[in-house]
Structures are given as C-alpha cells and as structure tokens.
Amino acid sequence: MDLEALTEKSGEWLRGTGPESDIVVSSRIRLARNLAQYPFISRCDDTTKTEIETLLKAKMDEVAAGRRLQYLDVDDLETLDRQFLVERQLISREHADSTGSRGVGISDEETLSVMINEEDHIRIQVLRSGLSLDECWSEINSFDDALEEEVTYAFSEKLGYLTACPTNVGTGIRVSVMLHLPALVMTKEIQKVFQALHKISLAVRGLYGEGSQAVGDFYQISNQVTLGKSEDQLIQTLKDVVPNIVDYERRVRTALVKENRQSLHDTVARAYGILRNAQTISSEETMHLLSSVRMGINLGLIDNLEIPEVNELFIQTQPAHLQKLRKSELGSAERNSARASFLRRRLSGGGSGEEN
C-alpha cells in the first residue's frame, strides 16, 4: 500500500455521506479474536508472533479475495508512518507502539481494517460514515464468518470468545459511534449526557478511543462490556441511544441560534477568520476552531465550505499527516507554522495545499 497516496484522498468515513452525518461523524464495530492453538499475545515470544502473523496473513488473503485488502507490515514502518495510520483510525495506538511481528490489512475505501497481533491475535474493524451500525455489522460479520471457516478461534461454550482483556470476553465486540457535540459543550449540557450514558454502562472516550482526550468536541460512545449480551443487543443499545443525543444536540443548536444568532455567528466567523489567517497554530487550537466552523456550516452561517472538506482538515492537520504532506519531519514549532500555512491555502481556495 502506498501511504503517500493515502494523503491525497480521504477514507469513506470522512466523506459525510452517511445518515445523520452532520452530527454523527462515523460508526465503527470492532471484533477481537484469538487463535485456539496459540497463547495470548502478551505470552508470545517473537517466534510465535511471527508464526501467527504468517498464518493469519495467508488466511486473510484467501478470505479477502475480491475485497482488495492491502497489507502493511507495521513492524517495518517508520514511527511517522505508524502514527499516520493511527490518525487515520486504521490502527490503534497500542498496535503502533507495540513491538515484534504485526501488520494490518486495509480495504481501498478504508472501511475495513484487520490488525494482526495487536492486544489480541486478530482485531477486525469496520468504519463507516454517519450512523451506519447495521451496515458495519453486516460487513464485519461476513468477514468474521469467512475467516472463522479457515481458522479455529479460542472459544468457550460457557463464556464465548476468549480475549486478552476480560471486558471483551463473550462476543468480543466493541460498538462505537463518533459524535460532534459542540453545542452541548458550549452550554455545558454535555455533563448530563455523560451521566446518563454512565448509568447504562456506555463509555465516552476521545477522538482516538481508549485513553485519548476529547478534542474538537468529538466524543466516541461505546459499549463497555460484551459478556452476557448478544451482538444484536449491544448494537441495538447504541441505535436506541445515539438518536436521542443527536436530537439533543440539534435542539441546543437551534436554541443558540434563536437566542443569540449574532453572538454565535461572531464565534463562528472569528474561528474561520483565525484559521484562514493564522501564521502559527497548534493542533489542539485547530481542532477547536474547526469544530466551531463545522457547526457553523451545519447552521447555515458559512456557505462557501462543505462538511467533507472540514472533516478532512481535522485529519490532515494532525502531526503525522502534516509531515507526510510536507514530505519532511518537522519539530513542534515547524509543524505549527506549516499547519497555519496549509490551512491558509486550503481555506482560501488553494485546493490540496500545495504552494501557489
């Protein structure tokens, strides 16, 4: 897979084409699986990890016939390239930071990625734009079933699928939805949402999942426990809860416009102005300002910019993407300057961000 080519296009999940994509950025389902004949990764030596990767890569190629899964040897990648894949939501931070034989298979549209030798032997992920949990489940279940015909999973009749982390035992499924909730953050109503979700055992995490902080008013909502519930039940829980949060965010946005449209428009316009004119800007400030701009587009306060372009900017202004676009490694201060330059060109109609 040509990582350089990935910088020039966006994955399907960034295109803003799915249901409710003004607020629901993406839906994701992940399955954790292990091979019955090998110990968990934490108990494997380098030789065993290599055996697992070799076996699973060959089986994945057979199962993926017609899907065009392209494989990357993560252990051979430079640190910058691994971070690039994390920013793109194609591998986890743990997979990037680990050692030894490991890899990832990625589909052309970046909807399907299969990590080998992460915390578990296999982590299958399907990621799609908008509220698309049914579509995610259909695709991942089909791939998982096909792979299970080729290998023997570690499975207990009593407990279900056996995983390295006890919280994944059972179905091994993690169902998550990424939401953009700037109005709830602005009005401090977001705490009510957190409390309600906690009561029904749903976790709230940041843009990059477990261990990450919320930036740009993005929040991932996911199930915490898999044992004792079926895949359909866990998916249905998110399908029941998310529309309520979407409705809450929309109602608060409407109230903000109604109560003080001028003030809100000023906030959005200032954010847009800074992004178009700043000479140096951090990743965190960029995320915060793009969040305001994204909300402004949805409220009709900005009419010369589209949601897919803003979604791309959230990713392309991250440190690894920025350095890949510039084709050079940059220090923190250099990145802040390069980020500002990139934003000025993109938001002034400069297209891909190349020098005029």
**175 sits in which H/E element:** strand 173-180
pTM over 0.85: yes
The ranges assigned to domains in the chain are 3-248, 249-347
CATH number of 3-248: 3.30.590.10
For the chain, counts of helices (H) and of strands (E): 12, 10
More confident residue, 3 or 58: 58
Say whether pLDDT at 356 is over 60.
Answer: no
| Residue 113 or 208, more confident | 113
Q: Does residue 6 surpass a pLDDT of 90? A: no
Among 126, 146, 152, residue whose Cα is nearest residue 52 = 152
Give the pLDDT of residue 316. Answer: 92
Mean of pLDDT values over 215-234:
89
Is residue 354 predicted with pLDDT exceeding 60?
Answer: no
The pLDDT-based confidence of 302 (bands split at 50, 70, 90) is very high
pLDDT classification of 22: cutoffs 50, 70, 90: very high
Amino acid at 67: R
In 299-331, alpha helices (H): 307-316, 319-326
pLDDT of 172-202, one tens digit each? 999 999 999 999 999 999 999 999 999 998 9
d(CA 232, CA 240): 12
> What local confidence, expressed as pLDDT, does residue 211 receive?
46
The reported pLDDT for the residue numbered 207 is 66
Q: Tokens for 182, please give them.
A: 């700037």
Decide if 91 contacts 113 (C-beta within 8 A): yes
Determine the pLDDT at residue 223.
Answer: 92
With cut-offs at 50, 70 and 90, classify the pLDDT of residue 66: low
Phi, then psi, of 37 in degrees rounded to 5: -85, 0
Exposure class string for 6-25: b at 16+ Cβ within 10 A, else e: bbeebbbbbbbebebbbbbb
More confident residue, 287 or 211: 287
Q: Which amino acid is at 41?
A: I
List for the chain the helix, strand, coil content (%; round to 5): 50, 15, 35
- The percentage of residues in the chain with a pLDDT greater than 70, rounded to a whole number, is 94
The mean predicted confidence, pLDDT, of the chain is 91
